[in-house]
Structure 1
Amino acid sequence: MSHAFPVRVYYEDTDLAGIVYYANYLKFIERARTEWVRGLGIDQTRLKAEDDVVFAVRRVVADYLAPALFDDELTVETCFVSHTGARIILDQRVLRGDAVLFTAEVTLVALTGTGRPTRLPANVRQLMENAAS
């Protein structure tokens, strides 16, 4: 399963040289993950209110391969890799056309609203499994 999210690079995303500041790639992939979750049919506000479950980033392994520049049109691809009872692993890539500029393996964990680890609800696991097949 792959999800595509378009991003345009604005001046505020760049450094003095007009190159996307490295931390902004994390913002781009965060937005794409939010849309990926929404696309699965998961309402994160309701998930917190009804199940007391939120997602948090546990780990990011990132590679910066080539710079994105002011006014570039980018695509963030999000691909589901796997899940366990409380963890989701995703691969994300930022592309300009066919050129891969940035890659990340992201591990998300399920937490309660107070920050304690918890299991992913069965319906969330089922939505991911359905989308992956």
Structure 2
Amino acid sequence: MVQHNIDFRIYYEDTDAGGVVYHARYLGLAERARTEAIRAQGRSASDLLADYGLAFVVRQAIIDYRAPLRLDDIVRVTTRLTELGAASCRLWQEFHKVGDAAGTGCGTLDVRLACVRATDGRAARFPPPWRDLLRALIA
């Protein structure tokens, strides 16, 4: 299975008053990682919108927090596509602290994305070129 890895530094704006990454920031980091995984395949989410009037939306997200990330940590987000349907896909994302000898797993995200028409939000099938792009991430 193909996977995409990308590293992010944790900045002050990502943390709460205790210096620990605020829980919602994991969702933002995961979104950036998914965007870059698609970009690494030669397209961008804005291409889907511009060419077909379609967009990805999060339909479901289940997150499991395991260990805290803190200010100045480097986190590696690994993204893998685990399912591909006609108008949806499911991804598994893992958060690991980089530079930690143990490679601490800080959390996981199981996310289902739907493909929708931007004009009315109704579900739409992935166009064939996008099915091929996504299929390349799962193969």
Aligned counterparts of 2:12 and 2:136: Cα–Cα separation in 1: 39
Q: State the superposition RMSD in angstroms.
A: 1.1
Aligned counterparts of 2:82 and 2:19: Cα–Cα separation in 1: 33
Partner of 2:71: helix, strand, or coil?
coil
Match of 1:103 in 2: 108
Aligned counterparts of 1:125 and 1:36: Cα–Cα separation in 2: 15
Answering whether residue 66 of structure 2 is matched by residue 82 of structure 1, we say no
- The runs of 5 or more residues in structure 2 that have no matched partner are none
- The runs of 5 or more residues in structure 1 that have no matched partner are none
CA positional deviation for 1:52: 1.2
Aligned counterparts of 2:136 and 2:46: Cα–Cα separation in 1: 22
Count of residues paired in the alignment = 133
Partner of 2:25: helix, strand, or coil?
helix
Partner of 1:22: helix, strand, or coil?
coil
CA positional deviation for 1:132: 2.6
Match of 2:36 in 1: 35
User: Where in structure 1 do 4 or more consecutive aligned residues deviate above 6 Å?
Assistant: none
Q: Which of 106, 127, 132 does residue 121 from structure 1 map onto?
A: 127
State the identity %.
Answer: 36
